[in-house]
Amino acid sequence: MIRLWVLGLQLAELLVSSAVHLLYALYIFSSAVAGDLSQALGGCLFRQSVDVQVKAEEPERKSTATNDVPPIVLVHGIFGFGKGRLGGLSYFAGAEKKDERVLVPDLGSLTSIHDRARELFYYLKGGQVDYGEEHSKASGHSQFGRIYEQGHYPEWDDDHPIHFVGHSAGAQVVRVLQQMLADKAFEGHENTSENWVLSITSLSGAFNGTTRTYLDGMQPDDWRSLKPLSLLQVCRIGVIIYDWFDIPWLKSYYSFGFDHFDISWKKTGLSGLVDCLLGNTGPFASGDWILPDLTIQGSIQLNNHLQTFPRTYYFSYATKRTTKVMGVTVPSSILGIHPLLFIRVLQMSQWRHPPDVPPPYKGYRDEDWHDNDGALNTISMTHPRLPIEHPSCPVVNDNDCGPLQPGIWYYKIVEADHIFFIINRERAGVQFDLMYDGIFARCRKHVFRRTPPTLPNQAHQ
């Protein structure tokens, strides 16, 4: 009887979570469609005036001063999208308009951290995406992907470094990319180095994993397989069917990024769909998708190979929507937390690691992981700390940092949920402008690199 009661509660929670996530996805999709229709209608009515304005603005966009400024690259997180997807909708809620040299790449929304890092490199430099021969064979997908005839910043090198701003998993993507640059991991580009990255700013960055992956359906013991009854199982089935049908206009509007797995009915037929659904083939079978990378164990495995480099500036904004009441961690607000995240904020604040499963690392304590923003634990967002802690410096007031030093993670804890600074600008209000204005101003005014660097004991020689 107790087991039936527990099963009933699990089913009810799954139905509510699935309904909330589906409704939010439909809201985003319908908003994008409505925006496109409105823009198309406006274009038909005012085409002449628009043409005149565009012609008048072209010379300003091509100014030499602007081209000399290092670009700021905004990297989206899980289920995210870049410029050109979902019509005119902006993942970063229009923050890219705050500076003239901002790039917003479209990467796989559910592909692994490794694959997204490879895609980001070729988006910037140009050429055909090469996922790596060894990795591709192990993961069961094609080695080569999308072709960028012209890179968005082909001059990228030691003398032309880039600022990166990553939200959620996007921050870890940039760290993996920087390590690949240091390891010279791109065939045909043997001169890459970690110094191609001038700064990394993390906004709710997924550095050390999240307990939400286990709540959503990842198995805590092996961190790669899924629980049979879970939100991620529903997601897996939906993604496989979406990619199998391979409807061109729909996938041009939004893509999960699994084209290199060749799931389409055109290539696999009905038997391919059955194999994917049964877990015999595809990204969910090989584990080459983003959720395993976001478990605590998966993040530790990634972090084993990632460094904090001495000539790159690092900044992190960790978000939190919890507080303590009589020693118990609870959501800090009801109306201030997005409906998509409220249940998870509550669940994550009460998380208990299964007693019959070994802890993810030595010294693990549940209470360290209770503060969260509905998607990530606050302890995970401040700076890389597992398996070893990287140099860091907490910041309360941005003006108290003093002269910024490279090779140190400056982090600030902000009262906000995980999607507070994306998608909907009005929801964050003035805090949205303060956040992005501060990030862009720091990139433009306070972060620079001398070449070669002048050491203190060399200044008067």
Per DSSP, the residues of 295-309 read SHHHHHHHHTT----
pLDDT for 5:
67
For 6, list phi and psi in degrees, rounded to 5. Answer: -65, -45
**Lowest mean pLDDT across 3-7, 256-260, 397-401, 455-459:** 455-459
Confidence of residue 449 (pLDDT cuts 50, 70, 90): low
Region 42-47: mean pLDDT is 62
pLDDT tens digits, 163-204: 999 999 999 999 999 999 999 999 999 999 999 999 999 999
Residue 390, CB half-sphere, CA atoms under 13 Å: how many?
28
Examine the pLDDT at 51 and tell me if it is beyond 60: no
Identity of the residue numbered 434: L
Return all residues near 329 (Cβ < 8 A) that are at least 6 apart.
Answer: 322, 323, 349, 350, 367, 370, 371
Identity of the residue numbered 58: E
Query: In this predicted model, which residue has the larger pLDDT, 394 or 8?
Result: 394
Examine the pLDDT at 139 and tell me if it is beyond 70: yes
Beta strand extents in 352-402 (DSSP E only): 392-394
Examine the pLDDT at 458 and tell me if it is beyond 50: no
Measured between alpha carbons, how far is 370 from 434 in angstroms, rounded to an integer? Answer: 27
Examine the pLDDT at 430 and tell me if it is beyond 80: yes
pLDDT for 428:
94
Confidence of residue 105 (pLDDT cuts 50, 70, 90): very high
Start-end of H helices in 46-143: 47-61, 64-67, 113-125, 133-139
pLDDT for 45:
59
Confidence of residue 31 (pLDDT cuts 50, 70, 90): confident
pLDDT for 55:
36
Beta-bridge partner residues of 443: none
Region 238-252: mean pLDDT is 95
Q: What is the 3-state secondary structure (H, E, C) of 398-458?
A: HHHCCCCCCCCEEEEEEECCCCCCCCCHHHHCHHHHHHHHHHHHHHHHHCCCCCCCCCHHH
Mean pLDDT, the chain, as a whole number? 90
Measured between alpha carbons, how far is 37 from 420 in angstroms, rounded to an integer? Answer: 26
Measured between alpha carbons, how far is 281 from 440 in angstroms, rounded to an integer? Answer: 43
Confidence of residue 6 (pLDDT cuts 50, 70, 90): low
In eight-state DSSP terms, residue 118 is: H
Examine the pLDDT at 436 and tell me if it is beyond 90: yes
| Beta strands 162-167; 72-75: pairing state | parallel
Residues 443 and 199 sit within 8 Å (Cβ to Cβ): yes
Region 360-374: mean pLDDT is 97
pLDDT for 68:
74
Class of domain 71-223+290-449: alpha beta
Examine the pLDDT at 297 and tell me if it is beyond 80: yes
For 88, list phi and psi in degrees, rounded to 5. Answer: -95, 5
pLDDT for 57:
32
Confidence of residue 67 (pLDDT cuts 50, 70, 90): low
- Which of 247-250's residues contact partners 24+ apart within 8 Å by CB, and which partners? none
Give the tokens for residue 406: 């490279």
Cβ density class 379-400: b for 16+ within 10 Å, e for less: bbbbbbebeeebebeebeeeee
Identity of the residue numbered 153: Y
What's the pTM? 0.91
pLDDT for 62:
41
Give the tokens for residue 5: 């009661």
Examine the pLDDT at 396 and tell me if it is beyond 50: yes
Least Cα distance to 122 among 96, 156, 158 occurs for 156
**Lowest mean pLDDT across 100-104, 180-184, 248-252, 355-359:** 248-252
Give the tokens for residue 293: 């990378």
